[in-house]
Amino acid sequence: MEGASTPTSPPDNLRPQTKEEVQYWNKWVAEGWAEGEKQAVEIFLADKKGQDLSKVHIADLKAACNRFADAHGAIHVREVDEAMVRRFLLSRQVSARTIRNEKLSLMNFLNYAKRRKWLKEAPEIHQSDLPKEKKSPKGVLTVEESAGGVAWMEEHRPEYIPWLAVQAFAGIRWAAPCFLLPTKWR
């Protein structure tokens, strides 16, 4: 696909002639576009794996590309534009940080597509066009706050006690336990 050119239409004698042939033709073209998009993402991810990136980063890239593809059906990478990416990002019902991370993953893929000449220009999505991240508290938990967290966790989530112990040893911050613990234990 490197340097792939725009596909040309087949000669008239090979094009569908009946309504039924047109239906099959449209179905197969859509399937072909979807397979091409899937193949482009697979090539992108294979190249990223070769760069010795973490499995989590590769999984994030794959998930973002798959979510975008699922939202847009059978489209070719050449059809992706700035408005489409912006609408997709703004439609996500997730935090501003997750939207930023999705944007970075998609832009990573689209810039790769541009370098491979699958795309003339990668759309530019500026962070100022997206929701702002809220500042989270930066303070380290006090001994009393940590003890309250341990007591709550012993009662409600005992399987996370080792995690909390490691975090406390490392100097746990309020942002770290927020997804596990309710604020009432503070």
> Are both 58 and 115 inside the same structural domain?
yes
Does 47 share its domain with 83?
yes
**Is the same domain home to 28 and 103?**
yes
Phi, psi angle pair for 140, to nearest 5°: -80, 145
Residues 120 and 152 in one domain: no
Burial of 119 (0-12, 13-18, 19+ CB in 10 A): buried
Residue 140 pairs in a beta bridge with 173
Q: What is the pLDDT of residue 32?
A: 74
Q: Is residue 104 part of a domain?
A: yes
Q: How far apart are CA 186 and CA 142, in angstroms?
A: 10
pLDDT tens per residue across span 14-52: 888 889 988 888 788 777 766 766 777 788 888 888 887
Q: What's the pLDDT score for residue 50?
A: 82
pLDDT for position 98: 86
Q: Which domain holds residue 91?
A: 12-129
> How many structural domains comprise the chain?
2
Report, as an integer, the average pLDDT of 103-117: 88
DSSP 130: S
Which of 104, 129, 154 is at the close of a domain?
129
136 inside domain: no
CATH number of domain containing 109: 1.10.150.130
On average, the pLDDT of the chain sits at 77
Query: Do 26 and 95 have their domain in common?
Result: yes
**Most distant CA atoms of the chain, gap in Å:** 81
Q: Identify whether 134 is part of a domain.
A: no
Q: What is residue 5's predicted lDDT score, i.e. its pLDDT?
A: 53
Q: Based on the fold, state whether residues 123 and 153 are members of the same structural domain.
A: no
**Measured between alpha carbons, how far apart are the two ends of the chain, in Å?**
56
Where is average pLDDT lowest: 10-19, 51-60, 161-170?
Answer: 161-170
Phi-psi region of 141 (alpha: psi -120 to 50; beta: other; left: phi over 0): beta
> What pLDDT does 129 receive?
72
